[in-house]
A and B are shown apart, each in its own frame.
Chain A
Amino acid sequence: MNAVRPVGPTPEQRKANRRVALIIFAFAVLLMTLVLWLMIRAKYP
């Protein structure tokens, strides 16, 4: 008999991982915007 073993994250884990990835992405966008703003402010005070 071929027993089927679950491999990898469960659907719930996938969902949680996606949420964490989204949060990190949002942080990255936010902080990049901030850097851009700092640079612009430094150039045109």
Chain B
Amino acid sequence: MKTALSIGLSEEAQPAESAPMSDGLPSESRRAESPSLAADVMDLVKLRLSLLVVFTTWLGFYLGWQGPMNWLLMFHTVFGTVLAACGAGALNQYLEREHDARMRRTRERPLPSSRLTPDTALIIGVALSIAGLLELAAFASLLAAVLAAATIVTYLFCYTPLKRRTSLNTLVGAIPGAIPPLIGWAVATDGINFGGWLLFMLMFAWQMPHFLAIAWMYRDDYAQAGFVMLPGNDADGSSTGRQAVNYTLITWVLGMAPAMFGLTAPWHAVSALLLGAWFALAAFRFHLEPVQARARTLFLVSIVYLPLLLASLAIFKRG
């Protein structure tokens, strides 16, 4: 759960085979394959993940908005959030640069591989974060800016340090991961009401099996870098599997909840029922046999589940 402000947040989730494997390459070919400055900056700000944030923030806005769409307000909300997300991503890499260097999955990032200097990352991170917060405060709403600031703070100063202290870090890290749709909702409804919290809880619960699967897949890598993740202390995977099942059950109910409370048409409950069953079964199979392949399947199901569920929410939205 290295992601702030991001769902899907799966920068961790690079498939194992696509992890940097350049050790065997001669140095010339490694140089020849060096990413450009633009690619490094995009990597630093976790652009791909930050764009996922756009989607959840947009969705929160869209679900909360009633009446003819205010496209300009939507743009400011989404743009401000993505700027803040990019800033948080860069600041996270700045804070984590020494630990990233110890993990195979992250050691080719721009900072550990010295393609960008820490000062550059710090400046980019601070500038983007401030720009995002100002954009939200000036053109969206003050509440949205406060929520974005809370996301950055919990991500950088609560979750990041806790990663090396307790396996409960995942629960803390799920908070900044669940706020972006709430930002969109808060602007659209000019406050945070029940629907917004429902969206927050759904995002929160969904992240747990998602990250448990990732933490299981990369448990050796995490342990080597000094991160305390649940699977690191769970040799046979029984606890990880059980927790994955529990959280998919919670996600199942929360996924259907918008239909129960009349925020969407009843048809959403049908798609959420089927999608939730699929997600829960993937977790159950992982629980039965906690092996790499099943953790990977659970991870893949989680990243297909969420966009489909959110699409169903958008399609069957009321009002």
Contacts and interface: CB of A to CB of B under 8 A. Distances in A.
Nearest to A13: B238
B256 interface: yes
Closest CB pairs A-B (n = 5):
A38-B266, A42-B266, A35-B269, A38-B269, A35-B273
B252 A27 contact: yes
Name the residue in B253, B260, B266, B276 with the highest tally of chain A Cβ atoms < 10 Å from its Cβ.
Answer: B266
Chain B contact residues (Cβ within 8 angstroms of A): what range? 20 to 34
Nearest to A43: B266
A35 B253 CA distance: 11
Contacts of B288: 9, 17
B309 to A, nearest CB: 14
Contact of B259 (A13, A16, A27, A38): A38
Contact of B280 (A9, A24, A39): A24
8 contacts: A13-B238, A20-B245, A23-B245, A24-B281, A31-B252, A35-B269, A35-B270, A41-B266
A39 B277 contact: no
Interface in A1-20: 9, 13, 16-17, 20
Contacts of B280: 24, 27
Given A17-B288, A20-B242, A20-B284, A31 B266 contact: no
Chain A contact residues (Cβ within 8 angstroms of B): what range? 10 to 19
Contacts, number: 44
A41 B259 CA distance: 12
Interface string B234-254: 000010001001000100110
Contacts of B253: 27, 31
User: Binding site of A, secondary structure by majority: helix, strand, loop or mixed?
Assistant: helix
Contact of B276 (A9, A13, A31, A41): A31
Nearest to A21: B284
B294 interface: no
A20 B283 CA distance: 11
Given A20-B245, A31-B253, A42 B265 contact: yes
Name the residue in A13, A24, A41 with the highest tally of chain B Cβ atoms < 10 Å from its Cβ.
Answer: A24
B76 interface: no
A16 B253 CA distance: 22
B305 to A, nearest CB: 15
